[in-house]
A and B are shown apart, each in its own frame.
Chain A
Amino acid sequence: MDLRFTPEERAFREEVRGFFKENLPEDIRRKMVDGHHPSKQDIVTWQRILNRKGWAVPNWPVEWGGTGWDPVRQYIFLDELQSFPAPSPLQFGVYMVGPVIAQFGSQEQKQRFLPRIANLDDWWCQGFSEPGAGSDLASLKTKAVREGDHYVVNGQKTWTTLAQHADWIFCLVRTDSSVKKQEGITFLLIDMKTPGITVRPIQTLDGGHEVNEVFFDDVKVPVENRVGQENKGWDYAKFLLGNERTNIARVGVSKQRIRRLKELAAIERVGDVPLIETPRFAEKLAALEIELKALEMTQLRVVAAERTREKGKPDPASSILKIKGSEIQQATTELLLDVVGPYALPYLPEDEAADHGSNEPPIGPDWAGPAAPTYFNWRKISIYGGSNEIQKNIIAKAILGL
């Protein structure tokens, strides 16, 4: 038992950090530090920088651009990426549909889609949730009927993140209503330019436009865009969600947020004393750091165990990572609210300011703007990816056997 990283692993971390320092454009890094969303162009720019380095899709099979790093190096890479902070790759391509196509797709699908995902030539979004299918995802109703060499899709998806930018959507659709609900689902890849698709924005509490409703009205999808077999889509979805969960603690994100909190709490004063030196705040912060340290150790335990686990079979303990990871990320936003104090109040939607190149001076400290929007927006973290209550059901059933 040796919980230190090996000299090789430490050298790898330095290499990754060095590359980020050299190659991440400063304006993008600044935006991330200040707690703003990177733009579509920022994410594309960064993904292509990573792709030229060969680090666009580290988790994929080597023949499709994966790096072949062991789980510890995969972890170090993401930890550095998140804590640097650099934009995370677009999840829907790199961590979701990419691995599914690489594992279950046809050779033709792999050649057609994978390189374009790695270079972010195609922007993907995820068509899983529906108005009537949230935690009970398998009850989804969007229907695909086979007609000759294509399917005709009708229905609605919702909470579709960044669909407004998307070129493609991967969808779970119902192809058989006569069997058990999990057994009649098919996994389709759908071109967003296909006639009959409508995207309608949903505004979130922060005022941002991040999620959408997507409507399908007699949308024709060629059969060649089906992944794997008809009615086996649920298996592929479980594989996808398992991959999603290993990356869900976002320890690096919380580390960076805590570093930033410390900087700001040292600037902000309560009378003559920096906020960070007031005992109540200092102890709240220390308590959060302890929780995060514990989570980091738990994450490392899961990563270390991954070396001997069958691929595609996530550790049920990763439910802990989702629950604690989301709670801690949310707690960082709560503490930032404490730091900005009354300057949480002004509401200056980020999208408008960015779109119109606003040069109005900020109200209050220039770093206060994102605090409240992020607090409101990040309530999503304990809801998406299997809500924390669903994660507790998983722990109770898969680990405790209840």
Chain B
Amino acid sequence: MQYRGHVWKFGRDIDTDLIIPARYLKTSDPAELGKHAMEDADPDFVNKINIGDIIVAEENFGCGSSREHAPIAIKAAGISCVTAKSFARIFYRNAINMGLPILESPDAVDGIKAGDEVQVDTEKGEITNLTTGKVYQAKPFPEFISNIIRQGGLISYVKEKVKTQTS
């Protein structure tokens, strides 16, 4: 899959309360959660972004709560992809399970500025800064994770597994 958009940059330790504050966890409706994505990090975020834009952040993106509402909110707001120097582990799993592409690449984060236009190829793990022309290589997913993604996320993966077991 390829994604193309402008970049919004964030610092390190962007926690799940910044991504989607608990006051909005009274629902799990993606459209509703999407209205408040990143609200406590940047109150105007959802009004400024365009569909397909990309978040680029420093270390430990998504630390804190296990709330799956975090990747759901980011995806529903229209963000196509998140690149960071590192991700907190529960967020990492949740993003994969929700089908929000995430890539780890410290070089890309250092080489990309807010507002740059970027193209991300998740199959190749390639991040191209179209503004500067530089190409960065992200850590590719292990085979195990790729399988889950190929099946269209964890639920389809388990559905398939359950079907095989009972047939």
| B partners with A | no
